[in-house]
Structure 1
Amino acid sequence: MTNQMITARGLTKTFRAKGQPVEAVRDVDLAVEAGELVAFLGPNGAGKSTTLRMLTTLLPPTAGEATVAGCDIRLDPAGVRRRIGYVGQGDSGGHSQRVRDELHAQGAFYGLGRRETRVRAAELVESLELGQVANRQVQSLSGGQKRRVDIALGLLHRPELLFLDEPSTGLDPHSRANLWEHIIELRRTTGTTIFLTTHYLDEADELAERVMVMDHGRVIADDTAPALKQQLGGDRVTLAFGSASDAAAAASHVGGEVHGAVVTVTAPDGDRALPRWIRGLAADGLEVTAATHRAPTLDDVFLALTGRSLREEGATPGSDEAASDEPAAA
């Protein structure tokens, strides 16, 4: 028995565009333990969706190997699909179908008996607060309600592993918070492993035990969010002065970079250092007219690793990178 829910070695996907090979995913290694919630981040075109499609057997790899939920993605794709749940960016339910009918059809698709399907559907309708809309057509639901239906469809067969591809994109803040409350509670009660892609870095920071960052088809970082932020060297502190000469003099005491009358310093425990610096500078006749302190964020990590902010990519509906990391010629 193994505790690994996902193991990938040398996973590669090459397409051809205008007669030329294009590597969307290059020699990717992954390891996800059972019960983990892992956030998989990257700018549009980084290769996230291609990697996700290979792991879920929707796209065959060009090279490499992977075992997902105990099944080889090449040799036993049906076994992988039986054991995983997948919630993509589009709505999963048939728009003209009733919510409860969609859940029952999903149970039949996975070979569950009628009684087991009805019991499981009822459990999910209750836990995801879909009772008031269970007999309504999917097309009549709000965005948040549709995403909860998607989660229910992905969980109906009690998968060991749930893939979530941008599950909260396009939702308002209240619906996002509500959706994650349900996902976390279901995970707490079932121990389901979750592999998540998201453009909302606050979700990754708050929810994931581990964060992977992908760029140009490769995994370039893999660690906990606190560890990744710690690698940036500390908090960002700014000190403003009445003149550029005062700022230059202050920088000789505290270090950092001078931009006009402002000194910017990166330092561990900047919140504790700030009062000490202000007192020391005042003793030397240098008055701090304004000061700010900001702890590093995952967006800072992302910027340092990729040279761009994930916020620049835009967390908007339809921002899936599939179009950019999979050439049209494929």
Structure 2
Amino acid sequence: MHFFDYIKSRKNKDILTDDSLKEYDDTSPKYPNQILNGIHAKKFYRCDSALFDQMFDEIRNNPNCSYKTYLNDLIKQEKDYIPERVSAMLKITSDVYSHSNDIIDNFASEKEVLSSRIANFLGVPTVYNKKIRFRDSAGILSVDFLKSDEKILDVDDDINMIESELDVDRPGLFDNMNLEQTMARLNSVLFYYEKMYNFDHQQILKDILTQYFVKTYVLDDRDFGYHNVGVTCDKNNCIQVLPMFDYEMTFSNSNNNNIYEDFRYATCLDYTNILENINLKFKELIKPDNLKKLTKDLNSQFVHNAKVLLKSKQQDFDKYLDISKYMLTQNEKF
């Protein structure tokens, strides 16, 4: 059975109609009516806000909520405020025109959702991903996090600009996974930013490295790179790190967790039962109580990995980062 024959055979409450998503017209400066660059097709829509009731409720009522949207400030100030429609990005993870039988690709939506929930429980700023089906496609929706007075600064481009004057070889940020070199490069661009922007240098470093550790050592993401790291700048020239996003590569190479171990045994010839098992497992994992337990387990593994890494590298991170201590404090929320 082809993957899309399989998913069409299941009842799905998240099938969206054209009324749920409205396209922006060509005059919108922030949301052009066009497909965005990337491996998967992405586009912004005006979405029915009811699709995100659960997320808005948590932002409104949970002081530890880490979901980031452009509406957070308004929602916290005006408890009853929710617009009829919100700006959200639709990311297509699979469609009927794809001939891929890659199980990992086919379940990118589930991994996007689960990883965003784990990041939230760990207290790391993140987008909120919602699994949906739209027309003949499977994908995720996430409310835009960029406020109207903010813009994104490309950290990697700025590093390359600085280093081009030094005539040095310039791999992408985090490409070589050499933390000592990466920290030196981050410091160089932050010293450059200090001439123009307002921010806490050490906090920015900590936020970026927290994302690196969580994605790499908790979520087992093989795609943590410069294209997923950046900072925003507002009208007051204050900058902060982008929330985490782009989770389709999580749980891809893991040897120390069994969240998606079924992927390794799936074949493109006969995997209907495996798909059903993964779907049932996902539905169980995403339940709040189970997710809290899973996150605690992953957090413990993360702290262990972080300590081993810091010790093995024999590098002094204490002056700007105690990542293990930071992550341990997140357990107080459970």
Question: Which structure shows the higher strand fraction?
Answer: 1
TM-score, scaled relative to structure 2: 0.26
Q: Answer with 1 or 2: which has the greater Rg.
A: 1
RCO higher in 1 or 2 (8 Å CA, sep ≥ 6)? 1
